[in-house]
Structure formats: structure tokens, C-alpha cells
């Protein structure tokens, strides 16, 4: 049995066993603390019996982000952002992340946000599967977003976004992603050939 509650700064002394995972971005304290204090109601912790911290989600509220829409108009809208999500190894695959994500979604819905978004590594197929099972959509591909991986921005429209305007850019983004991937592969190919030629000359 697990219980959810608001995350408190003291939890940062207890969460190393959760965040020390190659798929969790280990942010610095100057990043984390302002985020936690910014929207404390969107930062939720989960405890196992004995008050052992076993999961947390760090949500923030982004006010009035301006975006250009297909019809040339632009809109300012508030949305939620998931900055971090992690569950302890021995509590995974039991629905805990699903519950934490649902809590933040409900809170953002009540705060009249348009959508929730997050960034995820391209290689993190488990997390992508989790988000897709909850209705998140890959909104755009982000080449080299991480030092060692590409990433995706994923979005979940909320009930205020009746016309799913927050997903309007998706076709243009797909087109752009396709072009970026081709360019990236071409560069890999050119640099691969170049390093073989240079390597061959050095051996001579
Ligand atoms: C990703 C993570 C948060 C998932 O937590 P969780 O509590 O195990 O997730 P849930 O139990 O709610 O999973 C729900 C669904 O997600 C998918 N999923 C989650 N983990 C999975 C795995 N290891 N393999 C395959 N599918 C997985 C499944 O569809 C699963 O549904 P199912 O159990 O009915 O098959 C957890 O594995 C984790 O902390 N990973 C490291 C950190 C990380 O990747 N954070 C996300 C960064 S963007």
C-alpha cells in the first residue's frame, strides 16, 4: 500500500535511491528548489509503509506561453509541465506513475490549464509507452536534446482545450522532424566517410 502527499524540501535528503537512475535527469539544487517552490501543489511524493519515499512527480505551471497556430494567429495559454517523474525500482509496474500523472493532470485541469507537456528521451520506450497509454502524444522530435540522446516533447490536451489546439502544430512538426532526421543521418554518413578517409591516410 502506498500513500500520496505533497513533496517537501526535506524529501530531497531521501530521494537518491530513486533519482540515481540513468533515465532520470539529476538536476542541480538551484534548478530543483525554485521549481518545487514555484508550484508546490503540483509536486507529489508517494510513500511506502514505514514512510519510505518510493516515487515523486515534479510538476510546474507555465503561465502564458505564446504559441503560433496554423491559421497565423497566436495564443497565450497556461499549461502544466512535468519536469521529473521517478519510481523506485521495487515499486515499478504497479501503477504508481500512472497515479502520480493522473493527480497532476487533475490539478492542472482544475487550474484551467490547456495541456500538460513533458520531455522524454527517445530511448526511454517504457516511459513513452506509459505516457501514450495515458493519452499523451509525441508533439515534436528534439534532436540532441539530451547530451547522449534525442528527445520528444509529448503533450496531453486538457478538458479546457476542447478543439485540441495544443496539438495543432503536430503535422508541421512531423514534417520538420522527418527533415531533421534525414539531415542528421546524412551528417553521420558524411562524418563517418570522412573519418574513414582521414583514418586511412594516417595509417599510410
Ligand atoms: C517510467 C516509470 C516512471 C514508470 O513507473 P511505473 O510506476 O512503473 O509505471 P506504471 O506502473 O504506472 O506503468 C503503467 C504503464 O506504463 C508502461 N510501462 C511502465 N513501465 C514499463 C516497463 N518497464 N516495461 C514496459 N512497459 C512499461 C506500461 O504500459 C504500463 O502498463 P501495464 O503495467 O498495464 O503494462 C519508472 O519506470 C521509472 O521511474 N523509470 C525511470 C525514470 C524515468 O524514466 N522517468 C521518466 C522520465 S521522462
Q: Please check the confidence at residue 175 and state whether its pLDDT lies above 90.
A: no
Q: Please check the confidence at residue 201 and state whether its pLDDT lies above 70.
A: no
Substitution candidate for ligand 1 out of 126, 145, 149 with most atoms within 8 A of CB: 126
For ligand 1, the distance from its centroid to the CA atom of residue 97, given in whole angstroms, is 7
Q: Give the model's confidence band at 185: pLDDT under 50 very low, under 70 low, under 90 confident, else very high.
A: confident
In the beta sheet, which residues pair with residue 77?
65
Name the domain count of the chain: 2
Q: Which residue owns the Cα nearest ligand 1 atom 23?
A: 126
CATH code of residue 47: 3.40.630.30
CA–CA distance, 149 with 121 (Å, rounded to integer): 6
Shared-domain flag, residues 151 and 98:
yes
Shared-domain flag, residues 123 and 190:
no
Shared-domain flag, residues 106 and 189:
no
Shared-domain flag, residues 50 and 129:
yes
In this structure, are residues 137 and 170 in contact, taking their beta carbons and an 8 Å threshold? yes
Shared-domain flag, residues 48 and 92:
yes
Shared-domain flag, residues 97 and 138:
yes
pTM score of the predicted model: 0.85
Shared-domain flag, residues 9 and 108:
yes
Location of C-alpha cell 547522449:
148
| Mean pLDDT for the chain overall | 89
Determine the length of the chain. 204
Q: Angle at the Cα of 146 (from 142 to 151), degrees rounded to 5?
A: 35
CA–CA distance, 194 with 6 (Å, rounded to integer): 54
Q: Establish whether residue 36 lines the binding site of ligand 1, counting it when its CB lies within 6 angstroms of any ligand atom.
A: no
Shared-domain flag, residues 86 and 141:
yes
In this structure, are residues 87 and 130 in contact, taking their beta carbons and an 8 Å threshold? no
Q: Give the model's confidence band at 5: pLDDT under 50 very low, under 70 low, under 90 confident, else very high.
A: very high
Domain housing 163: 3-168
Q: Please check the confidence at residue 72 and state whether its pLDDT lies above 70.
A: no
Amino acid at each position: 500500500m502506498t500513500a500520496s502527499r505533497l513533496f517537501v524540501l526535506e524529501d530531497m535528503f531521501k530521494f537518491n535511491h530513486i533519482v540515481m537512475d540513468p533515465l532520470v535527469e539529476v538536476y542541480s539544487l538551484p534548478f530543483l528548489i525554485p521549481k518545487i517552490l514555484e508550484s508546490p501543489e503540483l509536486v507529489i511524493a508517494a510513500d511506502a509503509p514505514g514512510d519510505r519515499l518510493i516515487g515523486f512527480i515534479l510538476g510546474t505551471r507555465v503561465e502564458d506561453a505564446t504559441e503560433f497556430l496554423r491559421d497565423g494567429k497566436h495564443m497565450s495559454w497556461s499549461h502544466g509541465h512535468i519536469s521529473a517523474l521517478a519510481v523506485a525500482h521495487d515499486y515499478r509496474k504497479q501503477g504508481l506513475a500512472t497515479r502520480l500523472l493522473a493527480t497532476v493532470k487533475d490539478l492542472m485541469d482544475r487550474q484551467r490549464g490547456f495541456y500538460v507537456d513533458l520531455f522524454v528521451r527517445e530511448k526511454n520506450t517504457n516511459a513513452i509507452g506509459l505516457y501514450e497509454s495515458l493519452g499523451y502524444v509525441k508533439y515534436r522530435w528534439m534532436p540532441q536534446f539530451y547530451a547522449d540522446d534525442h528527445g520528444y516533447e509529448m503533450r496531453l490536451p486538457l478538458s479546457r482545450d476542447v478543439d485540441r489546439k495544443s496539438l495543432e502544430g503536430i503535422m508541421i512538426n512531423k514534417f520538420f522532424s522527418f527533415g531533421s532526421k534525414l539531415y542528421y543521418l546524412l551528417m553521420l554518413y558524411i562524418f563517418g566517410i570522412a573519418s574513414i578517409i582521414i583514418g586511412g591516410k594516417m595509417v599510410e
